[in-house]
Amino acid sequence: MIQTPIWSVVLASVFWWLTLQTPILSEPIASQQPNAKIEIARIRSGVLPGVIIGGHHEGWLNIVQQRYTASSDRDDRLEEAARYLVEDELVQAGFDIARSQPSSVFEEASHDPEPGRFLIGGTLTKARLNSYQSWFKGGVTKDDRTIRWELFDRQRSKVVYRQEIIGSAEAEGIDNPAATYEAIRASIKQLLEEPGFLAALNSTPVETIVQPPSRFEVAALAVSNQPLSIAQLTGRSVPA
């Protein structure tokens, strides 16, 4: 029977332990794409007013006590908060961010001396907002937001990426808006992991080729001291 020296076992154990302790460094998302500046546009709602999006439930049977419907009023505070959430996630991921005007989905920032090549905007297409309360679970708010993200390339003057992503979150309390904000944050986090989104940011900029002006030469006409006749001026024969 072959016996393994004890020192070989010890060295193998130490090597295995050091391997587990060595951290594995992951490359940040932003380092995988060029340093293209991105602007955040509007995060607007596309849900029709009056559409039922959920409700308030009570008891262990989750009996509906109140219906939630989409508002007909534009919520500027929600849009602005959503823009800040998107901006924060992009900054945390290492992207170069430029602020943009929030009056349209793809509006150029006229006050920015260096506007971003890309504009990212979102449209809320679906919403599921529900709150639950019972004597043994307390209160909780759950929100699912489906957002259609669009990436606009200024150099190509078109949308180069479009994807609908569902973000889900929950928060303690009844009608807690934190659930909505975190659902939006969850959606943008998933977007930043989409290979197609990163590929669009990785696309080569379009180079504008300026052609030199062509030179046209017009042959000089022979000058005659005699005045031109009507036939010569019109190119037609005139009867005598």
Q: From start to end of 33-180, where are the E strands? A: 37-45, 52-58, 63-69, 96-99, 118-134, 138-153, 158-172
3-state DSSP call for residue 111?
A: coil
DSSP bridge pairs for 147: 124, 165
Residues 40-70 have pLDDT tens digits of 888 888 899 889 999 999 988 889 999 999 9
pLDDT band at residue 95, thresholds of 50, 70 and 90?
Answer: confident
Closest C-alpha among 198, 140, 196, 194 to residue 168? 140
Do the beta carbons of residue 8 and residue 66 sit within 8 Å? no
**pLDDT tops 70 at residue 104:** no
pLDDT of residue 73: 74
Torsions phi, psi of 142, nearest 5? Answer: -120, 140
Residue 74 lies in a domain: yes
* Residue 65 CB partners (closer than 8 Å, separation 6+): 55, 56, 57, 58
Q: What CATH number should be reported for the domain holding residue 86?
A: 3.30.160
Residue 57 lies in a domain: yes
pLDDT of residue 212: 55
What mean pLDDT comes out for the span 127-150? 93
* Cβ-based neighbour number of residue 159 at 10 Å: 15
Closest C-alpha among 93, 92, 103 to residue 41? 103
Looking at the structure of the chain, the number of domains it has is 1
Residue 81 lies in a domain: yes
* Residue type at 145 in one-letter notation: R
Residue 114 lies in a domain: no
DSSP bridge pairs for 151: 120, 161
Torsions phi, psi of 174, nearest 5? Answer: -90, 135
Residue 193 lies in a domain: yes
Q: Which two tokens stand for residue 82?
A: 């959503």
pLDDT of residue 100: 47
Top-confidence residue, 218 or 93: 93
Residue 160 lies in a domain: yes
Residues 166-224 have pLDDT tens digits of 999 999 999 899 999 999 999 999 999 999 999 998 887 765 444 555 554 545 545 55
Structural domain containing residue 157: 46-93+122-201
Q: Which two tokens stand for residue 16?
A: 């295995």
Q: What is the mean pLDDT of the chain?
A: 75
Residue 222 lies in a domain: no
Do the beta carbons of residue 68 and residue 129 sit within 8 Å? yes
